[in-house]
A and B are shown apart, each in its own frame.
Chain A
Amino acid sequence: MVVFDKPHALADVPLHYCPGCTHGIVHRLVAEAIDELEIEGRTVGVAPVGCAVMAYDYFTCDMIEAAHGRAPAVATGVKRSDPDNLIVFTYQGDGDLASIGTAETVHAAARNENITVIFINNAIYGMTGGQMAPTSLPGQVTQTSPYGRDVNACGYPVKICEMLSMLEGPEYLERVAVNNVKNVRKAKKAIRKAFQNQIDKKGFSLIEVISACPTNWGMTPSKALKWIDDNMIPYYPLGVYKDRSAGIIPGAKEEA
């Protein structure tokens, strides 16, 4: 009896991620959604620059490696090439999506581009070795904020879900975390919904996943998961920021 199996959409290769990194969990959730919705044969994924740069080797669907921050633009091109058949997702980190690629992110959302964006927010640049990210918390010590993020000099973290929720364009924005079983289950549901929305041609869905980077946070994996509860989630509250079809539209509320 099989009690635990690898999703078909996840390639049978060792991942290069560090011990305790939550990328593996999110990869699996994406692959499970692709399997369950039976869309692997028509899905194209766009990998970022950052730790997930080699995600193109980890998913069995067709994959494209994009320039740093440009995944939403690349995904736009792919989607527009065959909008009725292809399912297109991007998988991006915080430096990629919320710093260098902010313009591409905002405008893909504004266009309600019918794509799915998986946004890994772990508040640090992982691949280059632990520099300050646009989402690093105030006071957070990183290689390029050695005395802690000084908001007077570096400004404040970018809260992507809150920011995008003010746009009329996007269909669905939710922030989830993957630091415990309950949160992983919620994340799974959100990611699946983000793909379902695309199948239903509802438009731009972005799932921000609060993730752990034990290596660059300088913590054990278990401490890192606790750090998410203690520090990340208070700053980045979990929940649905916009769900047009469900009537959750913060911008509209303001107007009324």
Chain B
Amino acid sequence: MTRELLFAGFGGQGLLFSGKVIAYKGLIEDKNVSWLPSYGPEMRGGTANCSVIISDEPVGAPIISNPDVLVAMNLPSLDKYESEVKPGGSIFVDNSLIERKVQRTDVNVYYVPATRLAGENGAPTLANMILVGKLLQVFGEYDEELVRKALGKCISARHADLLDLNLKCMEIGRDYE
């Protein structure tokens, strides 16, 4: 099985980080993974995205044209990528930042007011992780031990205190109905 995920939003929303956590989780599970960021000036205050591929097979092109999963954290990203999601795929929308609904009817859509929830829980910069929590829960892949391990790989020991906060946000996402 191969799953292609696209995380898209503004620079600074932690999209690259959430992609990395998902990729590391795949690596720990012994899958083939790739993580490809957009790079350059567009990262500075503009749009940022990253493509993550998790597969049982060797990963070919790390570039994604038609994602199975889109995580959209701003309107331009939803506008740009909504039409490219594979039929039957999934779109996760931070609806505290994106007011409009997804137009497509052939995809599964999950609305999570991630930015509002993050703010309410004292972690205003971790809306990304709320969406990741939701995403893993939707796919039935929220394994607490794996998640903790993956986070441990992505957060340096120096910032160990942040691990618990990330975990808390992922749990908020997991439990959000």
Direct A–B contact present (CB less than 8 angstroms): no
Residues of A whose CB lies within 8 Å of any CB of B are none
Residues of B whose CB lies within 8 Å of any CB of A are none
